[in-house]
Amino acid sequence: MHLLWFKRDLRLEDHAALFYAAKNGSAVLPVYIVEPDYWQQPDVSLRHWAFVSEALTQLQQQLTALGQPLLVCYGAATRVLRELCARFPISAVYSHQETGNLWSYQRDLAVARLLAELALPWQQYPQFAVIRALSSRDHWFEQADHWLSQPLYPCPARLPFICAANWLAPLPVPQRSRDLPACQQRQHGWQLQQTLDSFLHQRSQHYHGGISFAARAVNSCSRLSPFLAYGQLSIRQLQQLTEQQRKASDSTQQKRGLQAFYSRLRWHCHFIQKLEDEPEVEMRNMHRGFDGLREDAFDATLYQAWASGQTGYPLIDAAMRSLLHTGWLHFRGRAMLVAFASYHLWLHWRPLALHLTQCFVDYEPGIHYPQIQMQAGTTGINPDRMYNPVKQSMQKDPKGEFIRQWLPELRRVPDSWLHQPWLMSSSLQQQYGCVIGRDYPAPVVAAGQAVSAARAKLSQWLAQQRGQFELEKRQVFQRHASRNRPAERRSVKQSSQLGLFD
Protein backbone atom coordinates (compact mmCIF):
# COMPACT_ATOMS: atom_id res chain seq x y z
CA MET A 1 0.00 0.00 0.00
CA HIS A 2 0.98 3.64 -0.39
CA LEU A 3 1.15 6.18 2.43
CA LEU A 4 -0.28 9.59 1.44
CA TRP A 5 1.07 12.36 3.66
CA PHE A 6 -1.16 15.43 3.74
CA LYS A 7 0.61 18.67 4.67
CA ARG A 8 -0.56 22.08 3.39
CA ASP A 9 -2.70 20.43 0.70
CA LEU A 10 -5.96 19.61 2.48
CA ARG A 11 -8.10 18.72 -0.55
CA LEU A 12 -8.95 15.85 -2.88
CA GLU A 13 -9.44 17.72 -6.18
CA ASP A 14 -6.37 18.41 -8.33
CA HIS A 15 -4.21 16.52 -5.83
CA ALA A 16 -1.27 15.03 -7.71
CA ALA A 17 0.02 12.95 -4.79
CA LEU A 18 -3.40 11.38 -4.21
CA PHE A 19 -3.86 10.70 -7.92
CA TYR A 20 -0.56 8.86 -8.28
CA ALA A 21 -0.79 7.10 -4.93
CA ALA A 22 -4.20 5.66 -5.88
CA LYS A 23 -3.32 4.94 -9.50
CA ASN A 24 -4.23 1.47 -10.75
CA GLY A 25 -6.41 0.88 -7.70
CA SER A 26 -3.58 0.89 -5.16
CA ALA A 27 -4.53 0.95 -1.49
CA VAL A 28 -3.84 4.35 0.05
CA LEU A 29 -3.32 5.17 3.72
CA PRO A 30 -4.05 8.93 4.12
CA VAL A 31 -2.23 10.53 7.05
CA TYR A 32 -2.03 13.97 8.63
CA ILE A 33 0.60 14.56 11.30
CA VAL A 34 0.11 17.11 14.07
CA GLU A 35 3.71 17.99 14.92
CA PRO A 36 4.11 19.53 18.41
CA ASP A 37 7.44 21.17 17.57
CA TYR A 38 5.90 22.96 14.61
CA TRP A 39 3.24 24.53 16.82
CA GLN A 40 5.97 25.99 19.04
CA GLN A 41 7.56 27.90 16.16
CA PRO A 42 7.44 31.71 16.42
CA ASP A 43 5.65 32.15 13.09
CA VAL A 44 2.54 30.07 13.91
CA SER A 45 -0.43 30.60 16.20
CA LEU A 46 -3.54 28.83 17.35
CA ARG A 47 -5.70 30.82 14.95
CA HIS A 48 -3.88 28.84 12.26
CA TRP A 49 -4.71 25.61 14.06
CA ALA A 50 -8.36 26.61 14.44
CA PHE A 51 -8.62 27.00 10.67
CA VAL A 52 -6.62 23.84 9.92
CA SER A 53 -8.69 21.70 12.29
CA GLU A 54 -11.86 22.79 10.48
CA ALA A 55 -10.27 21.99 7.11
CA LEU A 56 -9.21 18.59 8.44
CA THR A 57 -12.76 17.86 9.57
CA GLN A 58 -13.97 18.47 6.03
CA LEU A 59 -11.15 16.39 4.57
CA GLN A 60 -12.02 13.55 6.94
CA GLN A 61 -15.62 13.57 5.77
CA GLN A 62 -14.56 13.51 2.13
CA LEU A 63 -12.08 10.65 2.61
CA THR A 64 -14.58 8.64 4.65
CA ALA A 65 -17.03 8.96 1.78
CA LEU A 66 -14.35 7.50 -0.53
CA GLY A 67 -13.91 4.49 1.74
CA GLN A 68 -10.73 5.14 3.73
CA PRO A 69 -10.81 7.71 6.55
CA LEU A 70 -7.93 9.99 7.43
CA LEU A 71 -5.48 8.98 10.16
CA VAL A 72 -4.49 11.94 12.34
CA CYS A 73 -1.27 11.20 14.19
CA TYR A 74 0.57 13.21 16.85
CA GLY A 75 4.32 13.53 17.19
CA ALA A 76 7.47 14.20 15.18
CA ALA A 77 7.02 13.28 11.53
CA THR A 78 10.03 10.96 11.54
CA ARG A 79 8.73 9.02 14.54
CA VAL A 80 5.18 8.79 13.21
CA LEU A 81 6.28 7.68 9.74
CA ARG A 82 8.67 5.09 11.17
CA GLU A 83 5.86 3.64 13.31
CA LEU A 84 3.38 3.58 10.43
CA CYS A 85 5.88 1.89 8.14
CA ALA A 86 6.45 -0.76 10.82
CA ARG A 87 2.72 -1.31 11.31
CA PHE A 88 1.59 -1.34 7.65
CA PRO A 89 3.15 -2.83 4.51
CA ILE A 90 4.05 0.57 3.05
CA SER A 91 5.83 0.40 -0.30
CA ALA A 92 6.15 4.15 -0.96
CA VAL A 93 5.31 7.55 0.54
CA TYR A 94 3.51 10.18 -1.54
CA SER A 95 3.15 13.91 -0.82
CA HIS A 96 3.33 17.34 -2.36
CA GLN A 97 6.51 19.38 -2.22
CA GLU A 98 6.30 22.04 0.48
CA THR A 99 7.82 25.50 0.33
CA GLY A 100 7.32 26.29 3.99
CA ASN A 101 9.34 27.83 6.76
CA LEU A 102 12.88 26.78 7.65
CA TRP A 103 11.53 24.39 10.27
CA SER A 104 9.50 22.44 7.70
CA TYR A 105 12.48 22.49 5.33
CA GLN A 106 14.66 20.85 7.98
CA ARG A 107 11.83 18.44 8.85
CA ASP A 108 11.61 17.30 5.24
CA LEU A 109 15.36 16.71 5.12
CA ALA A 110 15.05 14.50 8.21
CA VAL A 111 12.14 12.59 6.63
CA ALA A 112 14.17 12.07 3.46
CA ARG A 113 17.00 10.55 5.53
CA LEU A 114 14.54 8.27 7.35
CA LEU A 115 12.90 6.99 4.18
CA ALA A 116 16.32 6.40 2.62
CA GLU A 117 17.23 4.37 5.69
CA LEU A 118 14.01 2.35 5.29
CA ALA A 119 14.66 1.99 1.55
CA LEU A 120 11.26 3.51 0.77
CA PRO A 121 10.78 5.83 -2.22
CA TRP A 122 9.30 9.26 -1.51
CA GLN A 123 7.32 10.58 -4.45
CA GLN A 124 6.84 14.36 -4.20
CA TYR A 125 4.82 16.47 -6.63
CA PRO A 126 4.66 20.25 -7.16
CA GLN A 127 1.93 21.98 -5.16
CA PHE A 128 2.35 25.22 -7.11
CA ALA A 129 4.04 26.37 -10.29
CA VAL A 130 7.26 26.31 -8.30
CA ILE A 131 10.30 24.55 -9.70
CA ARG A 132 12.63 22.85 -7.26
CA ALA A 133 16.35 23.37 -7.96
CA LEU A 134 15.55 26.02 -10.56
CA SER A 135 18.72 26.96 -12.42
CA SER A 136 17.55 30.21 -14.02
CA ARG A 137 14.65 32.65 -13.83
CA ASP A 138 14.88 33.52 -17.52
CA HIS A 139 12.08 31.22 -18.70
CA TRP A 140 10.26 30.68 -15.43
CA PHE A 141 7.02 32.40 -16.49
CA GLU A 142 6.68 30.15 -19.54
CA GLN A 143 7.30 27.07 -17.41
CA ALA A 144 4.83 28.25 -14.78
CA ASP A 145 2.14 29.00 -17.37
CA HIS A 146 2.58 25.54 -18.84
CA TRP A 147 2.09 23.91 -15.42
CA LEU A 148 -0.91 26.08 -14.56
CA SER A 149 -2.64 25.28 -17.86
CA GLN A 150 -2.43 21.49 -17.45
CA PRO A 151 -5.62 19.47 -16.82
CA LEU A 152 -6.63 19.01 -13.19
CA TYR A 153 -5.92 15.70 -11.50
CA PRO A 154 -9.18 13.82 -10.94
CA CYS A 155 -10.13 12.50 -7.53
CA PRO A 156 -10.36 8.68 -7.34
CA ALA A 157 -13.91 7.35 -7.18
CA ARG A 158 -13.07 5.09 -4.25
CA LEU A 159 -10.23 4.14 -1.92
CA PRO A 160 -9.89 0.57 -0.59
CA PHE A 161 -10.54 0.35 3.17
CA ILE A 162 -7.41 -0.29 5.27
CA CYS A 163 -8.24 0.69 8.83
CA ALA A 164 -10.61 2.80 10.90
CA ALA A 165 -9.67 6.38 11.67
CA ASN A 166 -8.28 7.37 15.05
CA TRP A 167 -10.38 10.50 14.72
CA LEU A 168 -10.97 12.77 17.69
CA ALA A 169 -13.50 15.54 17.24
CA PRO A 170 -12.88 18.23 18.17
CA LEU A 171 -9.19 17.75 17.54
CA PRO A 172 -6.98 18.41 20.59
CA VAL A 173 -5.48 21.89 20.54
CA PRO A 174 -1.67 21.93 20.28
CA GLN A 175 0.00 23.40 23.33
CA ARG A 176 1.67 26.79 23.07
CA SER A 177 3.39 28.73 25.81
CA ARG A 178 2.25 32.10 24.41
CA ASP A 179 -0.26 33.10 21.78
CA LEU A 180 -2.46 35.86 20.41
CA PRO A 181 -5.98 36.39 21.76
CA ALA A 182 -8.72 34.29 20.18
CA CYS A 183 -9.64 35.38 16.65
CA GLN A 184 -13.41 35.15 16.81
CA GLN A 185 -14.10 36.96 13.51
CA ARG A 186 -11.75 34.90 11.38
CA GLN A 187 -12.67 32.92 8.28
CA HIS A 188 -13.46 29.25 8.77
CA GLY A 189 -12.04 26.15 7.14
CA TRP A 190 -15.49 25.01 6.05
CA GLN A 191 -16.31 28.19 4.08
CA LEU A 192 -14.42 27.42 0.85
CA GLN A 193 -17.28 26.67 -1.49
CA GLN A 194 -19.50 29.56 -0.46
CA THR A 195 -16.55 31.97 -0.59
CA LEU A 196 -15.49 30.74 -4.03
CA ASP A 197 -19.01 30.85 -5.46
CA SER A 198 -19.83 34.29 -4.08
CA PHE A 199 -16.62 35.75 -5.50
CA LEU A 200 -16.71 34.20 -8.95
CA HIS A 201 -20.40 34.91 -9.51
CA GLN A 202 -21.07 38.11 -7.51
CA ARG A 203 -18.35 39.91 -5.58
CA SER A 204 -15.80 39.89 -8.41
CA GLN A 205 -17.69 42.72 -10.13
CA HIS A 206 -16.41 45.04 -7.37
CA TYR A 207 -12.85 43.68 -7.37
CA HIS A 208 -11.22 46.09 -9.81
CA GLY A 209 -12.12 49.28 -7.99
CA GLY A 210 -12.54 48.05 -4.44
CA ILE A 211 -9.52 46.06 -3.30
CA SER A 212 -7.44 49.06 -2.16
CA PHE A 213 -10.17 50.80 -0.13
CA ALA A 214 -10.17 49.65 3.46
CA ALA A 215 -13.94 49.60 4.03
CA ARG A 216 -14.76 47.95 0.69
CA ALA A 217 -11.92 45.45 0.45
CA VAL A 218 -13.45 42.99 2.90
CA ASN A 219 -16.12 42.17 0.31
CA SER A 220 -14.36 43.19 -2.92
CA CYS A 221 -11.32 40.97 -2.38
CA SER A 222 -11.69 37.28 -3.16
CA ARG A 223 -11.11 36.19 0.49
CA LEU A 224 -9.76 32.91 -0.91
CA SER A 225 -6.23 33.33 0.45
CA PRO A 226 -6.54 31.02 3.52
CA PHE A 227 -7.96 28.23 1.36
CA LEU A 228 -4.99 28.58 -0.98
CA ALA A 229 -2.54 28.76 1.93
CA TYR A 230 -3.66 25.43 3.39
CA GLY A 231 -4.29 23.81 0.05
CA GLN A 232 -8.04 23.34 0.22
CA LEU A 233 -8.08 24.91 -3.23
CA SER A 234 -5.33 24.44 -5.78
CA ILE A 235 -3.91 27.53 -7.46
CA ARG A 236 -4.26 25.78 -10.82
CA GLN A 237 -7.94 25.05 -10.25
CA LEU A 238 -8.63 28.60 -9.11
CA GLN A 239 -6.86 30.13 -12.10
CA GLN A 240 -8.76 27.93 -14.52
CA LEU A 241 -12.12 28.54 -12.81
CA THR A 242 -11.47 32.29 -12.91
CA GLU A 243 -10.78 32.25 -16.64
CA GLN A 244 -13.81 30.06 -17.33
CA GLN A 245 -16.11 32.40 -15.41
CA ARG A 246 -14.61 35.47 -17.11
CA LYS A 247 -15.39 34.01 -20.52
CA ALA A 248 -18.89 32.93 -19.48
CA SER A 249 -19.91 36.20 -17.82
CA ASP A 250 -22.26 38.63 -19.56
CA SER A 251 -21.22 41.51 -17.29
CA THR A 252 -18.49 43.85 -18.51
CA GLN A 253 -17.76 44.92 -14.95
CA GLN A 254 -17.43 41.34 -13.77
CA LYS A 255 -15.20 40.43 -16.72
CA ARG A 256 -12.97 43.35 -15.81
CA GLY A 257 -12.82 42.30 -12.17
CA LEU A 258 -12.03 38.68 -12.99
CA GLN A 259 -9.35 39.73 -15.46
CA ALA A 260 -7.71 41.88 -12.75
CA PHE A 261 -7.91 38.98 -10.29
CA TYR A 262 -6.47 36.56 -12.86
CA SER A 263 -3.50 38.85 -13.49
CA ARG A 264 -2.74 38.95 -9.77
CA LEU A 265 -3.05 35.20 -9.37
CA ARG A 266 -0.23 34.76 -11.84
CA TRP A 267 2.18 36.42 -9.38
CA HIS A 268 1.31 34.01 -6.56
CA CYS A 269 3.83 31.33 -7.54
CA HIS A 270 6.44 33.90 -8.58
CA PHE A 271 6.84 34.95 -4.96
CA ILE A 272 6.78 31.42 -3.57
CA GLN A 273 9.56 30.57 -6.01
CA LYS A 274 11.73 33.18 -4.27
CA LEU A 275 11.55 31.34 -0.94
CA GLU A 276 12.01 27.98 -2.67
CA ASP A 277 15.19 29.29 -4.28
CA GLU A 278 16.53 30.89 -1.10
CA PRO A 279 14.92 29.60 2.14
CA GLU A 280 17.22 31.81 4.23
CA VAL A 281 15.25 34.97 3.31
CA GLU A 282 12.91 33.98 6.14
CA MET A 283 15.70 34.93 8.54
CA ARG A 284 18.04 37.38 6.83
CA ASN A 285 18.00 40.26 4.38
CA MET A 286 17.57 39.28 0.75
CA HIS A 287 20.22 41.89 -0.08
CA ARG A 288 23.05 41.42 2.41
CA GLY A 289 24.10 45.04 1.96
CA PHE A 290 21.28 45.97 4.37
CA ASP A 291 22.65 43.82 7.20
CA GLY A 292 23.02 46.02 10.26
CA LEU A 293 20.91 48.90 8.92
CA ARG A 294 18.07 48.70 11.44
CA GLU A 295 18.82 45.81 13.77
CA ASP A 296 20.69 47.80 16.42
CA ALA A 297 18.18 50.67 16.41
CA PHE A 298 15.12 48.58 17.28
CA ASP A 299 12.78 50.45 19.65
CA ALA A 300 10.59 48.04 21.64
CA THR A 301 8.17 50.79 22.69
CA LEU A 302 7.48 51.81 19.10
CA TYR A 303 7.11 48.17 18.13
CA GLN A 304 4.52 47.57 20.84
CA ALA A 305 2.54 50.63 19.79
CA TRP A 306 2.51 49.35 16.20
CA ALA A 307 1.67 45.75 17.12
CA SER A 308 -1.28 46.77 19.30
CA GLY A 309 -2.71 49.47 17.02
CA GLN A 310 -1.77 52.42 19.23
CA THR A 311 0.49 54.55 17.01
CA GLY A 312 -1.80 57.59 16.91
CA TYR A 313 -2.29 57.32 13.13
CA PRO A 314 -5.92 56.24 12.61
CA LEU A 315 -5.65 54.18 9.43
CA ILE A 316 -2.52 52.39 10.66
CA ASP A 317 -4.18 51.55 13.97
CA ALA A 318 -7.48 50.53 12.40
CA ALA A 319 -5.63 48.19 10.04
CA MET A 320 -3.77 46.51 12.90
CA ARG A 321 -6.80 46.18 15.16
CA SER A 322 -8.83 44.78 12.28
CA LEU A 323 -6.11 42.22 11.64
CA LEU A 324 -5.92 41.21 15.29
CA HIS A 325 -9.67 40.60 15.40
CA THR A 326 -10.29 39.03 11.98
CA GLY A 327 -6.98 37.44 10.94
CA TRP A 328 -7.19 39.12 7.53
CA LEU A 329 -6.29 42.43 5.91
CA HIS A 330 -6.31 43.61 2.31
CA PHE A 331 -2.98 43.87 0.53
CA ARG A 332 -2.66 47.66 0.61
CA GLY A 333 -3.25 47.57 4.37
CA ARG A 334 -0.55 44.94 4.84
CA ALA A 335 1.95 46.84 2.74
CA MET A 336 1.18 50.06 4.59
CA LEU A 337 1.67 48.44 8.02
CA VAL A 338 5.08 47.06 7.10
CA ALA A 339 6.28 50.22 5.33
CA PHE A 340 5.18 52.48 8.20
CA ALA A 341 6.95 50.31 10.76
CA SER A 342 10.08 49.98 8.63
CA TYR A 343 10.56 53.62 7.67
CA HIS A 344 8.61 55.88 10.03
CA LEU A 345 9.36 53.75 13.10
CA TRP A 346 12.70 52.44 11.78
CA LEU A 347 12.04 48.88 12.94
CA HIS A 348 13.80 45.82 11.54
CA TRP A 349 11.49 43.62 9.45
CA ARG A 350 12.07 40.28 11.19
CA PRO A 351 10.05 40.99 14.40
CA LEU A 352 7.37 42.65 12.24
CA ALA A 353 7.18 39.55 10.06
CA LEU A 354 6.75 37.24 13.03
CA HIS A 355 3.95 39.32 14.54
CA LEU A 356 2.14 39.37 11.22
CA THR A 357 2.61 35.65 10.55
CA GLN A 358 0.82 34.91 13.81
CA CYS A 359 -1.97 37.36 12.93
CA PHE A 360 -2.60 36.24 9.35
CA VAL A 361 -4.90 33.24 9.17
CA ASP A 362 -3.78 32.99 5.53
CA TYR A 363 -0.06 32.91 6.35
CA GLU A 364 1.79 31.58 3.31
CA PRO A 365 5.57 31.61 3.97
CA GLY A 366 6.53 31.82 0.30
CA ILE A 367 4.53 35.00 -0.20
CA HIS A 368 4.95 36.47 3.26
CA TYR A 369 8.71 36.79 3.60
CA PRO A 370 9.56 38.09 0.11
CA GLN A 371 6.69 40.58 0.38
CA ILE A 372 7.75 41.74 3.84
CA GLN A 373 11.27 42.37 2.57
CA MET A 374 9.93 44.19 -0.49
CA GLN A 375 7.87 46.56 1.66
CA ALA A 376 10.74 46.98 4.16
CA GLY A 377 13.13 47.90 1.35
CA THR A 378 15.71 45.13 1.88
CA THR A 379 15.55 43.39 -1.51
CA GLY A 380 17.76 45.96 -3.24
CA ILE A 381 15.75 45.60 -6.46
CA ASN A 382 12.49 47.35 -5.50
CA PRO A 383 11.84 51.04 -4.80
CA ASP A 384 11.37 52.27 -1.23
CA ARG A 385 7.69 52.62 -0.29
CA MET A 386 7.35 55.37 2.26
CA TYR A 387 3.57 55.68 2.42
CA ASN A 388 2.30 58.90 3.96
CA PRO A 389 -0.07 57.60 6.67
CA VAL A 390 -2.28 60.70 6.62
CA LYS A 391 -2.51 60.85 2.82
CA GLN A 392 -3.28 57.12 2.69
CA SER A 393 -5.99 57.61 5.30
CA MET A 394 -7.65 60.41 3.35
CA GLN A 395 -7.44 58.55 0.03
CA LYS A 396 -8.29 55.01 1.07
CA ASP A 397 -10.87 55.68 3.78
CA PRO A 398 -12.16 59.18 2.94
CA LYS A 399 -15.41 58.85 4.91
CA GLY A 400 -13.74 57.09 7.82
CA GLU A 401 -15.95 53.99 7.66
CA PHE A 402 -13.08 51.60 8.31
CA ILE A 403 -11.47 53.81 10.95
CA ARG A 404 -14.68 54.26 12.92
CA GLN A 405 -15.42 50.55 12.77
CA TRP A 406 -12.15 49.61 14.46
CA LEU A 407 -11.39 52.73 16.52
CA PRO A 408 -14.56 53.33 18.55
CA GLU A 409 -12.84 56.17 20.43
CA LEU A 410 -12.89 58.17 17.17
CA ARG A 411 -16.50 57.51 16.14
CA ARG A 412 -17.76 60.96 17.09
CA VAL A 413 -14.88 62.81 15.45
CA PRO A 414 -16.04 64.41 12.16
CA ASP A 415 -14.39 63.66 8.83
CA SER A 416 -12.57 66.97 8.82
CA TRP A 417 -10.52 65.94 11.88
CA LEU A 418 -10.68 62.16 11.72
CA HIS A 419 -7.46 61.59 9.80
CA GLN A 420 -5.42 63.95 12.00
CA PRO A 421 -7.28 64.04 15.34
CA TRP A 422 -4.24 65.42 17.18
CA LEU A 423 -4.79 68.75 15.37
CA MET A 424 -8.10 69.33 17.15
CA SER A 425 -8.14 72.00 19.81
CA SER A 426 -8.68 70.96 23.42
CA SER A 427 -12.27 72.17 23.30
CA LEU A 428 -12.99 70.16 20.15
CA GLN A 429 -11.42 67.08 21.71
CA GLN A 430 -13.75 67.46 24.69
CA GLN A 431 -16.73 68.11 22.42
CA TYR A 432 -16.16 64.96 20.35
CA GLY A 433 -15.24 62.76 23.31
CA CYS A 434 -11.72 62.02 22.15
CA VAL A 435 -8.99 63.59 24.25
CA ILE A 436 -5.62 62.90 22.66
CA GLY A 437 -3.33 61.16 25.12
CA ARG A 438 -6.27 59.86 27.15
CA ASP A 439 -8.84 58.35 24.77
CA TYR A 440 -6.56 57.96 21.78
CA PRO A 441 -2.75 58.22 21.65
CA ALA A 442 -0.84 61.12 20.19
CA PRO A 443 1.29 60.15 17.16
CA VAL A 444 4.31 58.17 18.33
CA VAL A 445 6.41 59.95 15.70
CA ALA A 446 5.97 63.04 13.54
CA ALA A 447 5.43 61.48 10.11
CA GLY A 448 7.21 64.11 8.05
CA GLN A 449 10.27 64.24 10.29
CA ALA A 450 10.42 60.46 10.61
CA VAL A 451 10.37 59.80 6.88
CA SER A 452 12.98 62.54 6.26
CA ALA A 453 15.20 60.91 8.86
CA ALA A 454 14.67 57.49 7.20
CA ARG A 455 15.69 58.87 3.82
CA ALA A 456 18.79 60.42 5.31
CA LYS A 457 19.80 57.18 7.04
CA LEU A 458 19.29 55.21 3.85
CA SER A 459 21.29 57.68 1.78
CA GLN A 460 24.16 57.62 4.24
CA TRP A 461 24.09 53.82 4.40
CA LEU A 462 24.06 53.37 0.63
CA ALA A 463 26.89 55.88 0.20
CA GLN A 464 29.03 53.69 2.47
CA GLN A 465 28.25 50.51 0.50
CA ARG A 466 29.25 51.79 -2.97
CA GLY A 467 30.39 49.14 -5.49
CA GLN A 468 29.72 46.12 -3.31
CA PHE A 469 26.06 47.09 -2.98
CA GLU A 470 25.56 47.18 -6.76
CA LEU A 471 27.26 43.80 -7.16
CA GLU A 472 24.92 42.24 -4.60
CA LYS A 473 21.94 43.95 -6.25
CA ARG A 474 22.77 42.35 -9.59
CA GLN A 475 22.99 38.96 -7.91
CA VAL A 476 19.59 39.40 -6.24
CA PHE A 477 18.09 40.49 -9.55
CA GLN A 478 19.51 37.49 -11.36
CA ARG A 479 18.18 35.11 -8.74
CA HIS A 480 14.77 36.56 -7.89
CA ALA A 481 13.56 39.25 -10.30
CA SER A 482 10.68 38.56 -12.66
CA ARG A 483 11.28 38.36 -16.40
CA ASN A 484 8.09 39.87 -17.78
CA ARG A 485 7.03 38.89 -21.27
CA PRO A 486 6.63 41.67 -23.89
CA ALA A 487 2.83 41.73 -23.55
CA GLU A 488 3.18 42.32 -19.83
CA ARG A 489 5.72 45.12 -19.59
CA ARG A 490 4.84 46.89 -16.36
CA SER A 491 6.78 49.06 -14.00
CA VAL A 492 8.28 47.45 -10.93
CA LYS A 493 6.09 49.67 -8.79
CA GLN A 494 2.91 48.59 -10.55
CA SER A 495 3.61 44.88 -10.37
CA SER A 496 4.50 45.06 -6.69
CA GLN A 497 1.14 46.53 -5.76
CA LEU A 498 -0.68 43.37 -6.79
CA GLY A 499 -3.06 41.79 -4.31
CA LEU A 500 -0.80 38.83 -3.72
CA PHE A 501 -2.36 37.87 -0.42
CA ASP A 502 -5.88 37.69 -1.74
Q: Which residues are annotated as a binding site for FAD?
A: 207, 261
Q: In 358-494, at which residue ranges do the beta strands (DSSP E only) sit?
A: none
Compute the chain's Rg from CA coordinates: 24
Nearest of 381, 500, 392 to residue 447 by alpha carbon: 392
Candidates 140, 364, 361, 335; CA nearest to 235 is 364
Residues of each annotated binding site? 207, 261
As a whole number of angstroms, the distance between CA 220 and CA 226 comes to 16
In which element (H, E) is residue 392 found?
helix 389-396
DSSP labels, 147-172? HHTSPPPPPPS-----------SSPP
Structural contact between residues 148 and 239, judged by C-beta atoms closer than 8 angstroms: yes
Spatial neighbors of 107 by CB under 8 A, at least 6 apart, are 35, 38, 77
Q: Does an H or E element contain 92, and which?
A: strand 92-96
**Is the Cα dihedral 380, 375, 501, 204 positive or negative?**
negative
| Per-residue H/E/C for 411-451 | CCCCHHHHCCHHHCCHHHHHHCCCCECCCECCCCCCHHHHH
Tell me which residue of 170, 398, 368 sits closest to 283, measured CA to CA: 368
Q: Which backbone phi and psi does 328 adopt, to 5 degrees?
A: -145, 150
